[in-house]
Structure 1
Amino acid sequence: MPVTPAAQLPAASLLQLIWLASPALPVGGFSYSEGLETAVDRADVTTEALAGDWLRDQLHLSLARGDLAVIAQAIPAWRSGDVARIRALNDWVLQTRETSEMRAQAEQMGRSLLDWLRNHDGANAQRIAACAQMQPTYPVAFALAASQTAAGVRDCLLAYAFGWAENMTQAALKSVPLGQSAGQRMLARLASDIPAAVEAAISLPDDERQAFSPMLAILSSQHETQYSRLFRS
C-alpha cells in the first residue's frame, strides 16, 4: 500500500528546531558533563563502549523520565497560556534536582535561553515576562522557545534530545578522552535510541514522572569537590 507522506513542517519551524538543538546556542550547554566527568574519574567509564552505555542509560533512565516528560507537558501549556501548569512543572524541576550543580545548571541554562529569546525575532514578550517571573529552568524555557514554532511536541522533543546527545558526546570526547570517530559512533547509538525515549516521555503521566538516579546524584556531589575538572557539572 502507498505510504501517505506526513505533513511537512514549515521551513521556518524546522530551522528553529535545528537552531534550538545546536551546540552553538549561547546557553552554556558545552560547559556541563552532568556527572560524566566524575564517572570517568571514579566509576571506570574509560572506553568508548562504557561511555556509550553510560549515556544511553542516562537518556532512558533520567532524561526521558524527567526533562523530556516535562517539556512534553510544558509545550501545550505554553501554547494554551496555562501559566499555573507551567509554574508547577518548573517547580518540579527545581525541587527534583538532587545536587547544587544540577540545579545550578538548570537555572543558568534557563536564564541564558530566556535572554536569547528576548533578542529573538517573533518572541512573545508577554510569555517571556511570565517565564522570567518563575526562575525558569532550562526544560521550561526550551518549551517556551519550541512552543513558538509550528512543530509538534514529538519533533520538539527529538530536537531537545539530540542537542543533549551532542553536548554529552562532546563531554565524553574531552573527559575520557576519545577521538572524533568514536564520538560519531556514540552519537549514532544515541540517535537510534532517541525516538523510543521521546515516545516514552510523551506517554508518561504526571504521577510517573521522576528524577531518581542515585549513582548520578552521588557522582554529581563528588564532582563539586573533584580536584581537577574541565566541566561545571
Structure 2
Amino acid sequence: MSSASQTQALLRLMAWLSPAFPVGGFAYSGGLERAVHDRLVSDALGLRDWLSTLLTHGSGWNDAVLLAAAHRAVGRPEEIVELSALGLALAGSAERHLETLSLGRAFVAAASAWPHPVFDRMPKDCPYPVAVGAISAAHGVGLEQALAAYSHALVSQGVSAGIRLGICGQQEGLKILQGLEALAESTAQQAAGSCLDDLGSASVQADIASLRHETQVSRLFRS
C-alpha cells in the first residue's frame, strides 16, 4: 500500500472511532453505571482497574478477537454472517446485546458515507466489533491499527462515562487514558494473532453489573 493510501486509511480510522462519529456510544456504559451505583467503582483508580480488566479479560477482549476474525474474513461474506451471530450470542445480558447490535448498525450506516462493495455484503444484524473489523479491512486499514484504535475507543468511552458519573474529573480521565495506552497496544498485538478459540472472559462482576443495570430505576445510560 502506498504512503498516500496508508494516510487515507488512517484518516478514515480516526474518523470512524472518533467520539464524534454518530454511533451513539455516549448512551452506553457497559454496566459501569451499575458498578458505580453498587460502589464497585468509586474513584479514578477503580475506573482504571475496571477498564483494564474489560480490555484484557472481559468484553473488550472478546470484541478484539471478533474484530480480528472479521478483518481476516472480509472477502468471505458467509463467515461475516457467522461471526455476527456468534458476537450477538456472546452478549451476556439484554443490554449488552442491545449495545453491540445498536452500535454495529449505526456504524455500518454512518461508515457507508465512504462507499464500498463491502456494505452490500454486511448482515443486517451485525455487532459492533464485527462491523468495525470487516469495514476497516475493506478500506485497507491494517488489523493491528484497527484493534489499537478500537481498544483506545473503548477506554475513552469508559473514561467519558466515568466523568459523567462523577467518579473522576477530566484530568484524572486523561491520566487513565495515558496509563492504559500501553495496555491497549499490547492487547491489539495479542488479538491480532488470536483465533476464535481465544474467546472467553473472566469479568464476572462486570457481567453481573450489566444484568443488574437492566432493573435500575434512575440511570443516565442505556447499559
Pairing 1:36–2:36 present: no
SS of structure 2 residue aligned to 1:132: coil
TM-score by structure 2 length?
Answer: 0.92
Structure 1 residue 89 displacement after superposition: 1.3
Give the aligned length: 221
The counterpart of 2:116, out of the listed 109, 119, 124, is: 124
Using the aligned pairs only, state the percent identity.
29
Paired amino acid for 2:56: H
Query: For residues 35-184 of structure 1, what are the structure 2 equivalents within 5 Å?
Result: 35-78=31-74, 81-118=75-112, 120-121=113-114, 123-125=115-117, 127-133=118-124, 135-184=125-174
Residues 56, 190 of structure 1: 8 Å contact kept = yes
Pairing 1:224–2:214 present: yes
SS of structure 2 residue aligned to 1:87: helix
Residues 34, 213 of structure 2: 8 Å contact kept = yes
Paired amino acid for 1:129: D
Q: Which consecutive residues of structure 1, in runs of 5 or more, have no partner in the other structure?
A: 1-6
CA separation of 1:217/1:44 partners in 2, compared to 1, >3 Å: closer, same or farther?
closer
Q: Which consecutive residues of structure 2, in runs of 5 or more, have no partner in the other structure?
A: none
CA separation of 1:64/1:168 partners in 2, compared to 1, >3 Å: closer, same or farther?
closer
Provide the rounded CA distance (Å) in 2 between the counterparts of 1:178 and 1:64.
21
Provide the rounded CA distance (Å) in 2 between the counterparts of 1:147 and 1:22.
18
Structure 1 residue 14 displacement after superposition: 1.0
Pairing 1:24–2:20 present: yes
Provide the rounded CA distance (Å) in 1 between the counterparts of 2:95 and 2:104.
14
Provide the rounded CA distance (Å) in 1 between the counterparts of 2:159 and 2:83.
28
Paired amino acid for 1:144: A
Structure 1 residue 90 displacement after superposition: 1.1
- Alignment RMSD: 1.7
SS of structure 1 residue aligned to 2:180: helix
Give CA-to-partner distance per residue, 1:137-168, whole Å, 9 cap, x none.
Answer: 11111113211332211011111111111111
Paired amino acid for 2:123: A
Provide the rounded CA distance (Å) in 2 between the counterparts of 1:205 and 1:148.
20
Q: After the TM superposition, which parts of structure 1 deviate over 6 Å for at least 4 consecutive aligned residues? A: none
Structure with max Cα Rg: 1
Paired amino acid for 2:78: A
Provide the rounded CA distance (Å) in 2 between the counterparts of 1:136 and 1:171.
24
